[in-house]
Structure 1
Amino acid sequence: MPAFAKPPSAKSPSAAGPRTGPQTLAWDDFRLIKAIAERRALPAAAAALGLNHSTVFRRLGQIEQALGVRLFERHRSGYVATPAGDEMAQLAERVDSDISAFALKLAGQEIKPAGDLRVTTNDTLLVDLLTPVFAGFLGQCPDIRLDVLLSNQALNLSKRDADVAIRATDNPPETLVGRKAARIAWALYGRAVDFTGAEPVPIESLWQRAWVSLGDSFSGLKAVRYLAQHVAPERIVYKVNTVLGQAEAVEAGIGIGFLPCFIADRKPALTRLAPPDDGLGADLWLLTHPDLRHSPRVRLFLDYMAGELGRMKPLIEGEFPLSPRHADGEHGSQAPAA
């Protein structure tokens, strides 16, 4: 019996009347079943669909009654799809992917650079680097509206979670295309009033100072891994899960720490304790989906961003000179290496 066919009646054909065949299903029915199968709970599925719990419960019952099959088993651990429910959810996923692919192709055939453009990046890049550049772009392209999504996670550009991703990474996803705009330099910084001497600070003495670091959720970041390998845990007196907060902590005198040069070099209260360490840096990428790279608004945005970030390379790559007491480069010979 087909998964979505109404089961035959126990009565004889003459008594049951003509067969009505498979029930007609709407796309919203498939979306609902897919949401329940993915989240295994009605409240979570309702939130994802923008519906309330009772509506999802009622519609699930209506769909199961119309099909004559049970689509989910109800367990204490949640809703578990039956074979029929799983088949319906998988079909919904395929249709959803086809719809997303079609939308991408249409977006790639735009004639005029206009409309909404969704850009994902993180708060560090947005606050200290990108916002003025975005303002300049909007000034030149008044028919485009930017929708900026702050996230450190990789959004699914194939499903239009975003049109463009601006990311600091040495390993951009192979499913995306784009260009490297610059390399983000990191260096060791401390509060200027705490390092006023003319002589370089021996690296051995720095290990004994109080340190500021990013939190455990940033354990994959090179600077965090470096500190874990070289600095005693008790010397890391302050952790925070944002680079902006880390810069403020160093500026407040809580401790010394590694920071992106484009943030720290513009803070008069901070001073570099060593030249930028390339082993701690990361490439800055402008990325999009292959189907969108010929879209006028995406292409215009990528070209503009590449040009503006190219002009900001000296800041991003830490080419500003160190303070006079480090200009002789002596301290650089003692700087930590990744």
Structure 2
Amino acid sequence: MISWNDYQYVLTISRAGNISSAAKQLKVNTSTVFRRLEKIETAYKLKLFERHRHGYIPTEAGQEIISAAERIEQEAFSAERALTGKDQKLTGRLRITSTESLAASFLSRHIPSFTEEYPGLYIEIISDNQRLSLTEREADIALRPTRPTEESLIGRKLSTLKWGIYGSTTHYQPYQIPDLKNLEGKSFIAWSGGPLAQQTTDWLRKNIPAVHIAYESSSMLTNAQLAINSRDLILLPCLTGQNWHGLVPVFSPLADVEGELWLVTHRDLQKNARVRALLDHLAKAAMGDRQLFQGEN
């Protein structure tokens, strides 16, 4: 009978695409993974992968094993969420994920007061623009700039997020530009990457006459630092721009650029005491940050 460890090895090889990458994920050496796969295939007289130069491709039998492994994995995640959801102790670890800009401009200001109130809780902040899975327990809570769409998740809208145009305190005064037409020909730093980044660049090209894009970066925080050290302007969420030492709002808020801020968790965790405490704390903090979200002077 195939054990869970066997399923796990086959599933990891499938996802990694090769033995060496699977070994790294499983935290064993390459020969261990190779021997385990060989042992499984010999024991069941099945070839689970076709060995190609570019990687390991599952056979039909291998795909059946992989599908079964995925079902087992999801059941394990579900059981873990159910057990965690019933845990009412205000001790232990909480993992919250967000974009790097939200982590820097919001979480960094409000997590310290939470840990002072609940010293038994250990908070891990994962500030990465790659979205982590709440379903697979990669994180307990997510702070996202978009509404959750997965049926297994629940969310609370904290605020709308206004945007503004910011520049260095060395070269600009707060709100010194009365009209977007006065920015004609100005040099901007563009944010590159996903769909939202593209929308901001498209907005610049549409609304700033003869706009000049000096350079671009995939990091909003890098862009903020670039703006501080130059005469170039930058489009930022007001929450980030208003909090960034060395930047001032040159024209803010923008009437036709806004997003949303959502606090999200899995349905199975909504009654967990640790999760509930942090959700309530951040919701309360967001109420106090209303002016920052809206870019009000």
Map residues 199-218 of structure 1 onto 2, 5 A cutoff: 200=177, 203-215=180-192, 217-218=193-194
Deviation at 1:207, TM superposition (A): 2.7
Aligned to 2:38: 61
Aligned to 2:148: 172
Aligned to 2:72: 95
Q: Between 54-63 and 120-129, report the one with greater CA deviation.
A: 120-129
Aligned to 1:145: 122
Q: Between 244-253 and 117-126, report the one with greater CA deviation.
A: 244-253
- Which is richer in strand? 2
Aligned to 2:196: 220
**Could you say if the C-alpha distance between residues 273 and 208 of structure 1 is closer, same or farther in structure 2, counting changes exceeding 3 Å?**
same
Deviation at 1:152, TM superposition (A): 1.6
Aligned to 2:218: 241
Q: Deviations over 1:200-232 (max 9, x none)?
A: 5553341311111112x1443342331244458
Counterpart amino acid of 2:88? Answer: I
Q: Is the 8 A contact 2:133 2:139 kept in 1?
A: yes
Counterpart amino acid of 1:181? Answer: L
Query: Hey, which bits of structure 1, 4+ residues long, moved more than 6 A?
Result: none
**Could you say if the C-alpha distance between residues 256 and 198 of structure 1 is closer, same or farther in structure 2, counting changes exceeding 3 Å?**
closer
- For residues 36 and 173 of structure 2, what CA distance do their matches in structure 1 show? 70
SS in 2 for 1:146: strand
Structure number with larger C-alpha Rg: 1
Counterpart amino acid of 1:53? Answer: T
Percent identity between matched residues is 30
Aligned to 2:236: 259
SS in 1 for 2:251: coil
- For residues 267 and 51 of structure 1, what CA distance do their matches in structure 2 show? 43
Aligned-residue CA RMSD (Å)? 2.3
Residue 134 (structure 2) aligned to one of 147, 157, 173? 157
Number of equivalenced pairs: 295
TM-score (norm. length: structure 1): 0.80
**Could you say if the C-alpha distance between residues 69 and 185 of structure 1 is closer, same or farther in structure 2, counting changes exceeding 3 Å?**
same
TM-score (norm. length: structure 2): 0.91
Aligned to 2:292: 315
Counterpart amino acid of 1:256? Answer: L
**Could you say if the C-alpha distance between residues 91 and 268 of structure 1 is closer, same or farther in structure 2, counting changes exceeding 3 Å?**
closer
**Could you say if the C-alpha distance between residues 200 and 284 of structure 1 is closer, same or farther in structure 2, counting changes exceeding 3 Å?**
closer
Residue 121 (structure 1) aligned to one of 84, 98, 102? 98
